[in-house]
Amino acid sequence: MNVLIDLFITFFTIGAFSFGGGYAMLPLMKREIIEIHNWLTNAEFIDILAISEVTPGPIAINTATFLGYRISGLVGSIVATIGVVLPSFIIMGTIVYFLFKFEDSPYLDWFFIGIRPIVLGLIGAASISIAMDSFIDIKSILIAIVLFYLVSFRKTHPILAIILAGVAGTILY
């Protein structure tokens, strides 16, 4: 029962204090899951992120579901998933109420303008953190560079890029 409470509180905290979506949640997820609770190693965390990324749905919910299942089975996956989505429901309900009440306020506009750099910084920190753990040798760096080129400049579809990365990883490793 203690593990279920820990799962709920951990993912509720992640859901409540991470602004900007799934990628912005990654630094907090990594800290909570790896450094505080020692539920996963860095490599296992990256594996769960990879599975979460290729599975349909938001990365935060998928990660919570997979980790909850790994830690405590079906009940753990349900508890972790509810924990990560519940803050969004509470926060969005509150925001909608205040948006309608203060929709003409310049302070509200300033708030949204001010939060943009924070979200960008969180996403950047998550990208750098995952890159540091993912680039284990020159082959992994080359795969990343080629896929970045294909997606960014050749406009290759991201699903095809994921499949190509999987094939390249299987062949090279």
Q: Judge if 76 and 158 occupy the same domain.
A: no
Q: Judge if 26 and 85 occupy the same domain.
A: yes
**Structural domain count of the chain:** 2
Q: Which pLDDT value is given to residue 145?
A: 92
Q: Judge if 123 and 145 occupy the same domain.
A: no
According to DSSP, residue 31 is labeled I
Q: Judge if 124 and 158 occupy the same domain.
A: no
In sequence order, which residues have a C-beta less than 8 Å from that of residue 30 and are 6 or more positions away? 45, 129
Q: How far apart are CA 7 and CA 10, in angstroms?
A: 5
Q: Which pLDDT value is given to residue 43?
A: 87
Q: Which pLDDT value is given to residue 20?
A: 65
Q: Judge if 124 and 165 occupy the same domain.
A: no
Q: Which of 33, 32, 31, 55 is nearest to 44 (CA)?
A: 33
Q: Which pLDDT value is given to residue 8?
A: 96
Instruction: Supply the DSSP string of 107-167, one letter for each residue.
Output: HHHHHHHHHHHHHHHHHHHHHHHHHHHH--SHHHHHHHHHHHHHHHTS---HHHHHHHHHH
Q: Which pLDDT value is given to residue 64?
A: 92
60 touches 159 (CB < 8 A): no
Q: Which pLDDT value is given to residue 55?
A: 85
Q: Which pLDDT value is given to residue 74?
A: 96
122 touches 27 (CB < 8 A): yes
For residue 76, report the phi and psi dihedrals to the nearest 5 degrees. -60, -40
The pLDDT tens digits along the chain (173 residues) read: 799 999 999 999 998 887 666 677 888 888 899 999 999 988 898 888 888 888 888 888 899 999 999 999 999 999 999 999 999 889 889 988 888 888 888 888 888 889 889 888 888 887 888 888 788 889 989 998 999 999 999 999 988 998 998 899 899 88
Q: Judge if 69 and 129 occupy the same domain.
A: yes
Angle of the 22-30 helix axis to the 106-134 helix axis, nearest 10:
60
Token output for 125: 């920190």
- The pTM (predicted TM-score) of the whole model is 0.62
In terms of residue numbers, what domain contains 72? 2-134
Distance of CA 44 to the CA centre of its chain: 14
